[in-house]
């Protein structure tokens, strides 16, 4: 059913052969005037300790979610209308549909959806202004694997000094303490989380990856829990593929399975996107059960691995579900 809806929007947006002359909704969605993916950058992102990140009001988050839902359902006119109410610009180019905040300085996420011929992968970059090369990696992964969606944070994770109410602590912004309200992996009232929620629900078998950087060696993978998993689970398959690409690096998992190299390094158990995929009762404060869904991949990578991101993308290409 989902592929039928995607195909419907591909036609409605002029991506499947229709033209603006015979399809009124297509005329309501402007063509993008820049490169849809390559133009996503952090030039105007709120900087660390600037307090410039502005979370969207609840009504705008509702409008953003409704816009994405309308696009998926093939109602491009409603998608445009609700995007404007959310203070987002909606545009199209080929099969790509992009939501970009009208004011980049407020730090809200950019969302790109591939309306047809997409593989079942939703790519998230929660810390592109802090974890070097994760933005480039996210864009490369989305484009080369033909992923379903790309969601990129528009703010530095340490932009605001106010703490989030969600569980977990960190020392990445200085002294150890709660995560900050500008940290998109640990806050629920954000455009970044709203986009994930809509896409997770709409494409219920897609994998959801959260790309991160760490100071440690190699890479650490988890499904957002520390529970045991099957040897054929996404984390296990991806860990094996990355290990083939980086045979001299420490590629470990937080989840045990036959053949696993287990090391509980940055396991993403407080990541709210992971908790959402894994069915947590309260993604802000409650960890997911150990028997999590086999859809979420939390990927922590050393600086060297992130520099060699083409090899990471090639690993994904061998394991992500086909079209």
Q: What is the predicted pLDDT for the residue at 122? A: 98
Distance in angstroms (rounded) separating the CA atoms of residues 197 and 218: 30
Query: How high is the pLDDT of residue 291?
Result: 74
- Sequence-distant (6+) residues with CB within 8 A of 104 are 43, 44, 45, 154
Q: How far apart are CA 212 and CA 293, in angstroms?
A: 20
| Residue length of the chain | 323
Contacts of 115 (CB under 8 A, 6+ apart): 6, 9, 10, 13, 15, 71, 95, 96, 97
pLDDT at position 29? 84
pLDDT confidence of residue 293:
86
Query: Which residues form the domain of 191?
Result: 2-319
Q: What is the pLDDT along the chain (323 residues), one digit of tens a residue?
A: 344 434 545 544 544 333 333 334 455 789 999 999 999 998 999 999 999 999 999 999 999 999 999 999 999 999 999 999 999 999 999 999 999 999 999 999 999 999 999 999 999 999 999 999 999 999 999 999 999 999 999 999 999 999 999 999 999 999 999 999 999 999 999 999 999 999 999 999 999 999 999 999 999 999 999 999 999 999 999 999 999 999 999 999 999 999 999 999 999 999 999 999 999 999 999 999 877 888 999 999 999 999 999 999 999 999 998 87
pTM: 0.93
Measured CA to CA, the distance from residue 30 to residue 283 in angstroms comes to 35
Measured CA to CA, the distance from residue 86 to residue 103 in angstroms comes to 11
Identify the residue whose tokens are 């419907």: 8
Number of domains within the chain: 1
Round to whole Å and give the CA distance between 200 and 55.
Answer: 21
| β-strand partners of 110 | 152
User: Do 128 and 153 meet the contact criterion of CB atoms below 8 Å apart?
Assistant: yes
Q: Which of 134, 166, 164 is nearest to 150 (CA)?
A: 134
For residues 84 and 60, the answer to whether their CB atoms sit within 8 Å is no
- Burial class of residue 105 (count of CB atoms within 10 Å of its CB; 0-12, 13-18, 19+): middle
Strands 110-114 and 147-152: antiparallel
Distance CA 64, CA 56 (A): 10
Measured CA to CA, the distance from residue 166 to residue 176 in angstroms comes to 15
Query: Tell me, what's the pLDDT at 10?
Result: 52
Tokens of 227: 């529970």
């Amino acid at each position: 059913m989902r592929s039928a809806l995607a195909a419907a929007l591909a036609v409605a947006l002029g991506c499947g052969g229709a033209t603006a002359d015979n399809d009124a909704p297509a005329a309501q969605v402007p063509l993008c005037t820049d490169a849809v993916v390559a133009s996503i950058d952090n030039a105007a992102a709120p900087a660390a300790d600037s307090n410039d990140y502005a979370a969207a009001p609840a009504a705008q988050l509702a409008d953003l979610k409704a816009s994405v839902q309308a696009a998926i359902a093939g109602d491009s006119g409603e998608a445009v209308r609700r995007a404007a109410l959310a203070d987002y610009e909606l545009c199209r180019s080929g099969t790509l549909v992009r939501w970009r905040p009208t004011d980049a300085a407020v730090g809200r996420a950019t969302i790109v959806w591939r309306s047809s011929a997409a593989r079942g992968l939703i790519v998230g970059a929660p810390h592109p202004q802090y974890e070097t090369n994760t933005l480039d990696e996210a864009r490369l992964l989305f484009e080369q694997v033909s992923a379903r969606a790309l969601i990129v944070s528009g703010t530095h994770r340490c932009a605001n000094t106010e703490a989030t109410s969600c569980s977990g602590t960190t020392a990445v912004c200085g002294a150890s303490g709660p995560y900050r309200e500008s940290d998109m992996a640990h806050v629920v009232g954000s455009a970044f989380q709203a986009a994930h929620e809509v896409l997770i629900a709409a494409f219920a078998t897609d994998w959801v990856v959260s790309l991160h950087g760490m100071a440690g060696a190699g890479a650490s993978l988890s499904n957002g829990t520390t529970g045991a998993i099957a040897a054929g689970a996404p984390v296990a398959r991806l860990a094996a593929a990355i290990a083939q690409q980086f045979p001299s690096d420490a590629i470990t998992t937080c989840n045990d399975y036959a053949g696993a190299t287990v090391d509980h390094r940055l396991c993403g158990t407080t990541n709210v996107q992971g908790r959402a995929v894994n069915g947590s009762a309260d993604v802000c404060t409650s960890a997911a059960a150990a028997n999590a869904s086999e859809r979420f991949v939390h990927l922590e990578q050393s600086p060297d691995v992130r520099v060699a991101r083409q090899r990471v993308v090639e690993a994904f290409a061998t394991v992500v579900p086909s079209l």
